[in-house]
Amino acid sequence: MNPTTFTNTIETGLQVLQPSASLGSFSLTQVGANVQLDWQTQTETDNEGFIVHRSEDNSFFYAIASYANDPSLVGAGTTTTPQNYTFTDVSVTANTTYYYKLTAVKTGGNEYSLESIIPTITVLPTNLEEEKNLPNGFSLSQNFPNPFNPTTSINYELEITNYEFAKLVIFNVLGEVVNEFVLENSTGSVVWDGKDFKGNLVSSGTYLYRIETNNFISDTKKSILIK
C-alpha cells in the first residue's frame, strides 16, 4: 500500500467514526401534559436522523421515537448551518422524572450517541392530566417472576368504565412492539410466554411493557427474559 492510499484509508476511517451530528443545545419544556424536546445541531455530516431515548433512572434508556417513522426526526444530511429540531413526548406520566438523550444515525446505519447533554424534567400534574380521567383503581404490577423463563405474569387493575379498548403492549428497547394483549376484563393477569405476534420466541434481553387505552398511557415497567 503506497503512502497516498494509506492516508486516504485513515481519513475514510476517521470519517466513519465521526458522529453524524454535533449537538449544540438540548432542552426540555412541559407543554400541557406533555414534554417538548428542543435541540440544535451545530453541524451535520451524512445525518439520516435521530432516535430519542428516555429513562426514569438515568441509567437504563430505551428508544421512544425514531426518524424511521417520525418525519420531525429526519436529519438534514450534510450541513454546516445550525439546524433546529422539536419533538413532543406524549407518553409521559405526571409526578415522574424523565431523562432524555439522542442518538444520530449516519448514512449506512452507524449510530452515534450524543451524550454531551442529557436533560431531565419532572412532569407536573395539570388540568389536562385530570381530563384524561385516569381510573382511581388503576394499577399495573411488576411482572413475576422477573427475570423469567419461560413465562411471566403481569397483574393489572383498571376501572370498568375505563378499560374498554385497553391493551397491554410489550416492546423491546428499540421501541418496537413485540406483542399486544387485549384486556377483556377490568382486573386480571396477562401471562407472556416470551413470544412475538407470530408465535416466535424472542431473544433473551430486556423488554418493556405498559397499558394503553383511548384515555391514557400508563407508566412503563421493565422485564427481563433469560434462556
Residues 152-181: pLDDT tens digits? 999 888 765 555 678 899 988 888 899 999
pLDDT of residue 17: 55
Alpha-carbon gap, residue 53 to 31, rounded angstroms: 19
Three-class secondary structure of residue 3 per DSSP? helix
Q: What is the pLDDT of residues 4-39, one digit of tens each?
A: 444 444 344 434 457 889 999 999 998 888 899 999
Of 52, 28, 31, nearest to 120 (Cα)? 28
Contacts of 100 (CB under 8 A, 6+ apart): 26, 28, 37, 52, 53, 54, 55, 89, 118, 119, 120
pLDDT of residue 157: 82
pLDDT of residue 15: 44
Q: What is the pLDDT of residues 74-120, one digit of tens each?
A: 999 999 999 999 999 988 888 888 999 999 999 888 999 998 899 99
- How many C-beta atoms surround the C-beta of residue 31 within 10 A? 13
Contacts of 4 (CB under 8 A, 6+ apart): none
Q: What percent of the chain has pLDDT over 70?
A: 84
Q: How confident is the model at residue 133 (pLDDT cuts 50, 70, 90)?
A: very low
Alpha-carbon gap, residue 198 to 26, rounded angstroms: 39
> Cell triple for residue 46?
451524512
Q: What dotted CATH number matches 3-128?
A: 2.60.40.10
Alpha-carbon gap, residue 218 to 172, rounded angstroms: 17
The half-sphere exposure of 29 on its side-chain side, counting CA atoms within 13 A, is 7
Alpha-carbon gap, residue 41 to 76, rounded angstroms: 10
Q: What is the DSSP string of 29-75?
A: EEETTEEEEEEEEEEEEEEEEEEEEEESSSS--EEEEETTT-GGGEE
Q: Is there a shared CATH topology between the 3-128 domain and the 132-225 domain?
A: yes
Q: Which CATH number fits domain 132-225: 3.40.50.2300, 1.10.730.10, 2.60.40.4070, 1.20.1070.10?
A: 2.60.40.4070
Cβ pair 19, 42 in contact under 8 A: no
pLDDT of residue 118: 93
> Cell triple for residue 200?
416466535
In the predicted model, is pLDDT for residue 134 greater than 50? no
Average pLDDT across the chain, whole number: 83
Domain boundaries, the chain: 3-128, 132-225
Cβ pair 79, 43 in contact under 8 A: yes
